[in-house]
Amino acid sequence: MKIEITKKKETSFLILFFYLSLNINSFAQIDTINNVEYSTDYKFKNGLYITFQQVLNNNPLPFERITNINKNDINWLENLLKRKNISFIDDNGIENNLSINNIWGYCNNNAVYIRYNNDFYRIPYIGKISHFVGTQTIRNNIGYDPYYGSYPGMYPAYETTNVVQNIIDFESGKIYPFSIETVQAFIVKDTELFNEFNALKKSRKKQSLFLYIRRFNERNPLYLPKNL
């Protein structure tokens, strides 16, 4: 594969590039008999995703098998997601408990959500490269005065919450920052598209991130199991 790189890449890009290049031939192995190309008409089943593989298989844990919820409660799903633990009946008919922190996400009414920073966020754009918006809270424990230095209790601690954009690798389910370096590392699998993107000036790259994600997904579609 010929790759034109005109600028030195940051370490984070090289690491991500190496990881993604391990699966560079995976696009050719598509089961078109049992799978279909993803579109917005695709129907995801309702339930919890304990693992990302359940997303790819469209086989979540059905809400009906969760034992510590009250379906008569109008806010049953909201209250379920606030719990520390989920109790459910597994495939062998045995009741299990699982920390909410170990859940990848869930689906309800054909909307897929991912757990990120101790909360759940909808994934509005799904493809080989998926995109969602979440929030990130940064805590500053103490203030600082450039003349007198910092003194415990002199400056109160405070938190700031920022809206952040993220990318999901829909082969592994891992989350990455929405950045030039990340997009470059993903679209390197499509040599023509990568070289086109890499030829842009940095300011233009930043403006075109979502455009190239969309084009990559159109050229390299996501396949999921057929709806039965």
Q: What is the pLDDT of residues 25-70, one digit of tens each?
A: 444 456 778 899 999 999 999 999 999 999 999 999 999 999 998 8
Residue 212 half-sphere exposure toward CB, CA atoms < 13 A: 30
Phi/psi zone of residue 155: left (φ > 0), alpha (ψ -120 to 50 degrees), beta? beta
Q: Tell me the pTM.
A: 0.81
Residue 2 clears pLDDT 50, i.e. is over it: no
Residue 191 clears pLDDT 70, i.e. is over it: yes
Contact (CB, 8 A) for 95 and 87:
yes
Least confident of 89-98, 143-152, 182-191: 143-152
* Rounded Cα distance, 123 and 73, in Å: 26
CA diameter of the chain? 70
Task: Report the chain's mean pLDDT, rounded to a whole number.
Answer: 84
pLDDT of residue 91: 87
* Rounded Cα distance, 52 and 21, in Å: 20
Walk across the sheet containing 129-140 and list its strands. Answer: 129-140, 158-169, 175-177
Contact (CB, 8 A) for 131 and 210:
yes
The residues, ordered by sequence, that sit 6+ positions from 27 with a Cβ below 8 Å of its Cβ are 189, 220
Residue 152 clears pLDDT 80, i.e. is over it: no
> What pLDDT digit, counting tens, does each position of 104-122 carry?
999 999 999 999 999 999 9
Q: Where is pLDDT greater, at 173 or 137?
A: 173
Residue 143 clears pLDDT 70, i.e. is over it: no
Residue 8: band (very low, low, confident or very high) from pLDDT cuts 50, 70, 90: very low
* Rounded Cα distance, 68 and 90, in Å: 14
Residue 162: band (very low, low, confident or very high) from pLDDT cuts 50, 70, 90: confident
pLDDT of residue 19: 53
**Dihedral (CA of 20, 25, 29, 30) sign:** positive
Helix (H, G, I), strand (E, B) or coil at 93: coil
Residue 139 clears pLDDT 90, i.e. is over it: no
Residue 154: band (very low, low, confident or very high) from pLDDT cuts 50, 70, 90: low
